[in-house]
Amino acid sequence: MGRWRLLRLLGPPWGHPVPKATVLHRRNASSFPLPRQPLPPLAQTMAQYLRSLEPLVSPEELEQTKQLVAEFVAPGGEGERLQARLQRRADRMDNWITDWWVQSAYLENRLPLAVHSNPAVVLPKQDFSDWKGQLRFAAKLIAGVLDFKAKIDHQTLLVEYSRGYPLCMDQYARIFGSCRLPGPKHDSIFLPPPGRRPPTYITVARNFQFFQLEVYNSDGTPLTVDQLHWQLQRIRAQSWKTDKEPLGVLTSDHRHTWGQAYTTLMRDKLNRESARAIQRSLFTVCLDAPVLKVSDARAASRLAAQMLHGGGSHSNSGNRWFDKTLQFIVGEDGSCGVLYEQAVAEGPPIATIIDHVLDYCKDPVPVRAPLIPLPLPKKLYFCFTPEIKRDIEHAKQYLDILITDLDINCFTYLEFGKDLLKRHKLSPDSVLQVALQLAYYRTHGELGATTESASLRRFHRGRTETIRSATSAALAFVKAMADNSCQAPERLSLLKEAVEVHSTLTEQALNGLGIDRHLLGLKLEAIADGLRVPEVFMDTSYAVGSYWKLSTGQVAARTDCVMCYGPLVPDGYAVCYNPLPSHINFAVTAFNCCQETDAEQLARSLQKALDDVGALLGNVGCATNQEEEEEGS
């Protein structure tokens, strides 16, 4: 069923975006029905698929793929049969792709969660520089998270909007108390069983030791900041020894290896109880040990590394449980961040929690602590058999190699932010994606398949769709930039054309009419029915078109932070960014083992590309920021 027909059936307000100022904002998350994600028409997807290949494959490969597509979509062909099956699935399920997507993108992926999957958010450095400040800040942070959680529990969380559309708030209900569980063939997700009393504790990790910390008083009120601070001091006193096995690194291993080690670990009753306590806790707070200082130029990238993987088995990686959905990290030097597992939620809800928590930390609600003694935080003990020690040794080695291999470059682009691009009547996200194409082309002499995440939260239980940002229009623009005979007006016109094409793809993706989830659905439908995988999914073009050399995403937050994660392919990059009104934070990663990629080089190329885009737009970036400051003073 086409989107517009679906929306008409659902009636207002779904047929039209809601203006931002409408009072609908006041409706809470639990009372909002959303439309079902549409299934795009087959012919439309396949035509778009062919267009997406144009800048990436040779004319001969494209010709061959065109023939395969023509056979696939022919009346009575394989495509029609699979589409009909997929339509039946869409009719009977509340979301036809989400479960398959979570399974194939996350739970069946056997690569380690560390670096390869879990994204981290680097938060602005806080104003403390010793363990006392660390504990005080961590206490406020926990109180802030509980304050946010109370909105979910009391169903007062307000519905979020994007581009005027209300978004599905489902992910929030799963973030707390959930955990990924390793399995021999695929993982699963532990969610708090509905109807049962939810957990009332968090876990705190320090010096590779885990503690169960009750965060509610017996009357159900959350512990106050002072109470939490007191309890964290007690945890510190109990965890001063540093000679412990970094058990947490097991969770950073290849999923199959961790799955096997997990089976060994869980044979022991004590281990089972302790591991389950971590898995079922609301969230984890990692109190990191001090790390080596680096030069100011490397500080942002070093911080990102600490948040993403903990810095190695000798550093803070043993303070993590990579399977845990939500982990807050607080160092002694004012560093802080978030590491999360994304099978249950994407970046945007995490960014919303972060915005709330950091606002709360600036101005915590003063509450007088009740005069009742608090139970001692419970240390979670583990029994380390020789087999488990061997597994930890293996995981340590693997993680340290992975960490050495990761190249991270974080930087802030200061010449302009999203406000300038908005004044030029351009979508900031589309401009950044086109600039990224320019940076990649200048570094590699060609475009590479690029995935950008677009939210499908306009729909019930929607997750993400891919925007394929490497377009023919982007190729025309980057070639014009390389052609000295091409004048600025023509380049500007090609830039605007490329931005327009990206914006159209973005709208299609946000409306549930992107191509990648549909292609996945068709392929999985064939597999589920025991049919042969259609030829169209087996040819070179299909592999090249989805070999994501550039894995990108915008995770916008009010907080001056940036998210980062590792590349999807060994010879690729990941680029994540947070566009703020007058500057943009970027995190670029690549693998050192690949000779062709270099995060620092791409980062430099990206800065130059943004400068050039700014210049094409009239080189008003700096001037405009200055003007703004003058206006403000």
Tokens (6 digits) for 115 = 């670096």
φ, ψ of residue 462 in degrees (nearest 5): -75, 145
In whole angstroms, the minimum distance from the beta carbon of 534 to ligand COA comes to 29
Following DSSP, what letter does each residue of 429-451 receive, concatenated? HHHHHHHHHHHHHHHHSS---EE
| Number of residues near ligand COA (by CB under 6 A) | 23
Residue 455 is a binding residue for ligand COA (CB under 6 A): yes
Least distance in angstroms from the C-beta of 189 to ligand COA: 17
Stretch that binds ligand COA, among 198-206, 318-326, 380-388, 422-430 (CB under 6 A): 422-430
Query: Restricting to residues 247-266, which ones interact with ligand COA according to CB under 6 A?
Result: none
Contacts of range 145-154, beta carbons closer than 8 Å, 24 or more positions apart: 145/283, 145/328, 145/353, 145/357, 146/215, 146/222, 146/223, 147/222, 147/356, 147/357, 147/360, 147/365, 148/353, 148/356, 148/357, 148/360, 149/176, 149/282, 150/222, 152/29, 152/176
Least gap, CB of 456 to ligand COA (angstroms): 8
Which residue of 139, 285, 434, 510 would you call a contact of ligand COA, by CB under 6 A? 510
Q: 587 or 590: whose CB is closer to ligand COA?
A: 587
Residues 527-556 that bind ligand COA (CB under 6 A): 553-556
Contact 174, 325 (CB under 8 A): yes
Q: From residue 460 to residue 479, what is the string marking binding to ligand COA with x (rule CB under 6 A)?
A: ----x---------------
Could you say whether residue 37 binds ligand COA (CB under 6 A)? Answer: no
Closer residue to ligand COA (CB): 333 or 415: 415
**Which CA distances in Å does 153 have to 162, 279, 299?**
23, 20, 38
* Binds ligand COA by CB under 6 A, chosen from 422, 444, 460, 583: 422
**Cα dihedral sign for 50, 56, 59, 61?**
negative
Minimum distance from residue 493 beta carbon to ligand COA (Å): 16
3-state secondary structure of 367: coil
> Shortest approach of ligand COA to residue 594 CB, angstroms?
22
* Residue 427 near ligand COA by CB under 6 A: yes
Q: Taking contact as CB under 6 A, which single stretch among the options 137-145, 215-223, 342-350, 375-383 is the one that binds ligand COA? A: 342-350
Is residue 557 a contact residue for ligand COA (CB under 6 A)? no
Distance in angstroms (rounded) separating the CA atoms of residues 476 and 498: 8
Count Cβ atoms below 10 Å from residue 515 Cβ, excluding itself. 25
Is 319 or 508 the residue whose CB approaches ligand COA more closely? 508
Nearer residue to ligand COA within complex by CB, 261 or 555: 555
Residues with Cβ within 8 Å of 163's Cβ and at least 6 positions away in sequence, in order, are: 17, 510
User: Alpha carbon of 114 to those of 183, 184, 404, 594: distances in Å?
Assistant: 16, 18, 13, 19
Torsion angles phi and psi, residue 345, rounded to 5 = -155, 150
- Closest approach of ligand COA to the CB of residue 117, in Å: 10
Give min distance, CB of 599 to ligand COA, in A: 18
Contacting residue, 79, 119, 222, 514, with ligand COA by CB under 6 A? 119
If the CB atoms of residues 119 and 334 are measured against ligand COA, the closer one turns out to be 119
| Residue 428 binding ligand COA, by CB under 6 A | yes
What angle (nearest 5°) sits at the alpha carbon of residue 613, between those of residues 609 and 617?
165
Near ligand COA by CB under 6 A: residue from 92, 196, 269, 425: 425
Estimate the crossing angle of helix 42-53 against helix 516-528, to 10 degrees. 120
Answer yes or no whether residue 394 interacts with ligand COA by CB under 6 A.
Answer: no
> Measured from the CB atom, is 288 or 465 closer to ligand COA?
465
Helix (H) or strand (E) run with residue 395 in it: helix 386-405
Tell me the per-residue interface mask from 156 to 195 with ligand COA, x by CB under 6 A, - otherwise. Answer: ------xx--------------------------------
DSSP 500-517: HHHHHHHHHHHTT--SHH
> Which residues sit at the interface with ligand COA, rule CB under 6 A?
119, 162-163, 346-348, 418, 422, 425-429, 453-455, 464, 506, 510, 553-556
